[in-house]
Amino acid sequence: MTIHVLVADDEPHIGRIIQTKLEQGPFRVTLVSDGPAALSALEEYPDIALVLLDVMMPGLTGLEVLARIRADARWSALPCMILTAGGHEQHREEAFKLNVDDFLTKPFSPKRLFARVAELTATAPGVS
């Protein structure tokens, strides 16, 4: 069984690094490159078990997407991670106000990212 992870990042090489790492494990990745596409993917794939959002993206920022996820009863408990460039401490505060499950700073360790995704999806409802 694969665990479906949604990754939203507007830098294609970052998205590919994350996808390659996660797909070494029990994960399958849907990769999008802007905020509105992240919300569309959630509508389209009800099996998404975790969302990883870059902050600076076209359309809607990752924090705006996170706020919409948390405000929607279908996704309010969905594990969400935020990924941002270093030096944006206000993003961390905002993300934790929105009940983010984890916050990673670029440059990030793909191994650590994998470990956190594995931990967070192991406790997600409906995933065993």
Span 35-54, contacts to Mg ion by CB under 5 A:
54
Nearest distance from C-beta of residue 47 to Mg ion, angstroms: 26
- The stretches of 6-127 forming alpha helices (DSSP H) are 12-22, 35-44, 62-71, 89-97, 110-122
Nearer CB in complex with Mg ion: 54/94: 54
Query: Is residue 56 near Mg ion by the rule CB under 5 A?
Result: yes
Selected range binding Mg ion among 16-24, 42-50, 56-64, 88-96, rule: CB under 5 A: 56-64
Asked if 10 interacts with Mg ion (CB under 5 A), we say: yes
| 64 is an interface residue for Mg ion by CB under 5 A | no
Q: Are 83 and 108 in contact (CB under 8 A)?
A: yes
Q: Determine the Cα–Cα distance for residues 117 and 34; give it in Å rounded to an integer.
A: 21
Beta bridge partners of 83: 54, 104
Where on the chain is the footprint of Mg ion (CB under 5 A)? 10, 54, 56
